[in-house]
Amino acid sequence: MEELFINNMNTKQLSEIYDGWKNLVFPSPEVELEAKRRIEICVTCEKFRKNKSCAICGCYMPAKVRSTKSVCPIEKWVIKAC
């Protein structure tokens, strides 16, 4: 089942997941600032689950908010222009 899930992901999705987890493990001030802005929106969202995942995309949000390439699936937050 997990193998099928991974096979159905495209390169863009895998790149976003990698980016988020990389930035979670190796934080930078710029990414942390944007992650704080994003997670503050998520924690007020009805789709934010107790296990810190999103009910729509299924992503673990502490990692996803640190993916500079990712967006909220219902556009509550988007990629911030520099």
- Pick from 32, 47, 60, 62 the residue near ligand SF4 by CB under 6 A: 47
Report if residue 79 touches ligand SF4, rule: CB under 6 A. Answer: no
DSSP 8-state class, residue 29: H
Report if residue 72 touches ligand SF4, rule: CB under 6 A. Answer: yes
Reduce the DSSP state of residue 82 to 3 states and report it.
Answer: coil
Report if residue 35 touches ligand SF4, rule: CB under 6 A. Answer: no
Residue partners of 72: CB distance under 8 A and separation at least 6: 38, 41, 42, 54, 78
**Contact residues: ligand SF4, CB under 6 A:** 41-42, 45, 47-48, 54, 56, 72-74, 76
